[in-house]
Amino acid sequence: MIPPIANRFVAGETPAEVLEHVRTINQRDVKAIVNLLGEHYDERPPVRSDAAEYRSLVEDVAESDLEACVSIKPSQLGLDIGEDVFREELESIVETAAEHGVFVWIDMEDHTTTDATLDAYEEFAREYDDDGGSDFGVGVCVQANLERTRDDVERLADVPGKVRFVKGAYDEPEAVAYTDRERATQELKDLLEYAFEHYDGGIGVGSHDPEIIDHAIELHEEYGTDFEFQMLMGVREDVQYDLAEEYEVYQYVPYGGRWLSYFYRRVMERKENLRFALRAVLGR
């Protein structure tokens, strides 16, 4: 069981627990992007096991009346072992999701994985495009801190899927990235402007930053393009519920036995989260 200290950021260890959390947030009009925690597998068994759990999760979501989709890390599906392994496992999930009308997001990891991730996204988004007949579709994340992303965003404009725009969570080398946070924020604003102007909807705004949130609302008012906000479980949830009164909002909801390193990242990224964790440990 997840200790109470971690359950602000992680919904539980089992599919039943995560679906229960999804039900709770759905009641307040926030939809869910469910992520089974796991990454950087260098052997096939955990890859197979996580892919099987995703297929079963997709079936559970389809059989429920829940508003939820899934999001997967390439290295969880074996990208560190080989691109062929990643493609094979991803396709098995996308196929099941297409049959059941459940949307599949592909998270973006560090810059060494960008080409393999975008290529797989583009191929499956085109191959499994169902012309909007169900909730099914494929989406990918792009990171504003990478210099290459402007070109990628132009390339992805006519792919029939969704794109989640984020600042980027990985420490990247200066040779390929804007390492200054303000520059990454400005890039994200510029990329969003391009997308709202040129994309036919399908824009995910993955940020808790008030500057980015306001910018997205202004762009939506200017261009009328469809978009959704995406934020993490346990981060600015009050804002998520407020925004959901007017806009489409998704909460990224992680679960699973491998929660410790994810919880550690959330706690260390902000002083407030560290204080929250210490208060929980000390019982006050």
Among 210, 214, 222, 268, binds ligand FAD (CB under 6 A): 210
Residue 164 annotated as catalytic: yes
- Of the candidate spans 6-14, 230-238, 241-249, 276-284, the one that interacts with ligand FAD by CB under 6 A turns out to be 230-238
| Residues 6+ away with beta carbon under 8 Å from 262 | 9, 10, 37, 254
Contact status: 108 vs ligand FAD (CB under 6 A): yes
Among 80, 107, 152, 266, the active-site one is 107
Evaluate whether 56 touches 19 at the Cβ level (below 8 Å): no
Site for ligand FAD in 243-262 (CB under 6 A): 252
Residue 200 annotated as catalytic: no
Among 114, 117, 143, 225, binds ligand FAD (CB under 6 A): 143
Among 7, 113, 114, 207, binds ligand FAD (CB under 6 A): 207
Q: Give start and end residues of each alpha helix (H) in 64-113.
A: 83-100
Nearest CA among 109, 92, 106 for reference residue 53: 92
Q: Closer to ligand FAD at the Cβ: 31 or 87?
A: 31
Rounded-to-integer distance, Cα 253 and Cα 205, Å: 16
Evaluate whether 220 touches 195 at the Cβ level (below 8 Å): no
Rounded-to-integer distance, Cα 138 and Cα 131, Å: 12
Q: Closer to ligand FAD at the Cβ: 155 or 270?
A: 270
> At 205, which amino acid appears?
V
Among 5, 81, 116, 169, binds ligand FAD (CB under 6 A): 169
Q: How far is the CB of 274 from ligand FAD (least distance, A)?
A: 11
> At 44, which amino acid appears?
R
Number of residues that bind ligand FAD (CB under 6 A): 22
Nearest CA among 26, 23, 39, 110 for reference residue 256: 39
**3-state SS class at 71:** strand
Evaluate whether 264 touches 274 at the Cβ level (below 8 Å): no
Contact status: 96 vs ligand FAD (CB under 6 A): no
Rounded-to-integer distance, Cα 199 and Cα 274, Å: 39
Contact status: 237 vs ligand FAD (CB under 6 A): no
Evaluate whether 259 touches 37 at the Cβ level (below 8 Å): yes
Contact status: 148 vs ligand FAD (CB under 6 A): no
- Of the candidate spans 5-13, 61-69, 111-119, 160-168, the one that interacts with ligand FAD by CB under 6 A turns out to be 160-168
Among 129, 209, 218, 248, binds ligand FAD (CB under 6 A): 209
Per-residue tokens: 147: 């210099």
Q: How far is the CB of 197 from ligand FAD (least distance, A)?
A: 21
Q: Closer to ligand FAD at the Cβ: 131 or 238?
A: 238
Interface with ligand FAD (CB under 6 A)? 107-108, 141, 143, 166-170, 206-210, 212, 230-232, 235-236, 252, 270
Q: Which residues are catalytic?
A: 107, 164
